[in-house]
Structure 1
Amino acid sequence: MHTMWKGSISFGLVNIPIKLHTATQDKDIKLRTLHKKCHSPVKYEKVCSVCNEELKPEEIVKAYEYTKGKYVVLEEDELEKLRKENEDKAVEIIDFVKMDEIDPIFYNRSYYMSPNEGGGKAYSLLRKALKESQKVGIAKIVIRAKEQLALVRVYENTLVMETIHFPDEVRSVADVPSVPGEDKVTEKELDTAIMLIDQLTTEFEPEKYTDEYRTALLELIESKRTGQEVVTSKEKEPVTNVTDLMEALQASIDRTKPETPKKATATKEPVKRKRTTTKKKKEA
Structure 2
Amino acid sequence: MHTIWKGSISFGLVNIPIKLHAATEDKDIKLRSLHKKCHTPIKYEKICPVCDEELSMEDIVKGYEVTKGKFIVLEDEEMKELKNAAEEKSVEIVDFIKLNEIDPIYFNRSYYMSPNETGVKAYSLLREALMESGKAGIAKIVMRSKEQLAVIRVYENTLLMETIHYPDEVRSVEDVPSVPKEHEVSKKELDTAILLIDQLTTAFEPEKYHDDYRSKLMDLIESKQTGKEVVTPKPKEEKTNVTDLMSALQASIDQTKPKPGKKTTSKKKATRKRKKAETS
TM-score, normalized by the shorter chain, greater than 0.5: yes
Residue in structure 2 matched with residue 30 of structure 1 by the alignment: 30
In the TM superposition, residue 90 of structure 1 has moved relative to its aligned partner by 2.2
* In structure 2, C-alpha distance between the alignment counterparts of 1:85 and 1:187, rounded to whole Å: 60
Aligned runs of 1:176-255 on 2, under 5 Å? 176-227=176-227
Cα deviations by residue, 1:202-260 (Å, 9 ceiling, x for unpaired):
0000000000000000000000111189xxxxxxxxxxxxxxxxxxxxxxxxxxxxxxx
* In structure 1, C-alpha distance between the alignment counterparts of 2:148 and 2:174, rounded to whole Å: 25
* In structure 1, C-alpha distance between the alignment counterparts of 2:105 and 2:98, rounded to whole Å: 16
* In structure 2, C-alpha distance between the alignment counterparts of 1:94 and 1:86, rounded to whole Å: 16
Question: TM-score, normalising length from structure 1?
Answer: 0.79
In the TM superposition, residue 89 of structure 1 has moved relative to its aligned partner by 4.6
Q: In structure 2, what residue type is equivalent to 1:172?
A: S
In the TM superposition, residue 77 of structure 1 has moved relative to its aligned partner by 2.1
Residue in structure 1 matched with residue 97 of structure 2 by the alignment: 97
Matched, 1:171 2:156: no
Q: Which runs of 5+ in 1 are unaligned?
A: 230-284
The answer on whether the counterparts of 2:16 and 2:122 sit within 8 Å (CA) in structure 1 is yes
Higher gyration radius (CA):
2
Aligned alpha-carbon RMSD (Å): 1.2
Query: Which structure's relative contact order is higher, taking Cα pairs within 8 Å and 6+ residues apart?
Result: 2
Residue in structure 1 matched with residue 241 of structure 2 by the alignment: none
Matched, 1:143 2:156: no
* In structure 2, C-alpha distance between the alignment counterparts of 1:11 and 1:176, rounded to whole Å: 39
Residue in structure 2 matched with residue 50 of structure 1 by the alignment: 50
The answer on whether the counterparts of 2:6 and 2:89 sit within 8 Å (CA) in structure 1 is no
* In structure 1, C-alpha distance between the alignment counterparts of 2:211 and 2:148, rounded to whole Å: 29
Change (3 A) 1:160 1:127: same
- The runs of at least 4 aligned residues of structure 1 exceeding 4 Å deviation read none
Question: TM-score, normalising length from structure 2?
Answer: 0.80
Q: Which runs of 5+ in 2 are unaligned?
A: 230-280
In the TM superposition, residue 117 of structure 1 has moved relative to its aligned partner by 2.8
Residue in structure 1 matched with residue 119 of structure 2 by the alignment: 119
* In structure 2, C-alpha distance between the alignment counterparts of 1:143 and 1:204, rounded to whole Å: 32
The answer on whether the counterparts of 2:88 and 2:142 sit within 8 Å (CA) in structure 1 is no
Residue in structure 2 matched with residue 41 of structure 1 by the alignment: 41
* In structure 1, C-alpha distance between the alignment counterparts of 2:43 and 2:135, rounded to whole Å: 50
* In structure 1, C-alpha distance between the alignment counterparts of 2:228 and 2:69, rounded to whole Å: 54
Residue in structure 2 matched with residue 61 of structure 1 by the alignment: 61
Q: In structure 1, what residue type is equivalent to 2:143?
A: I
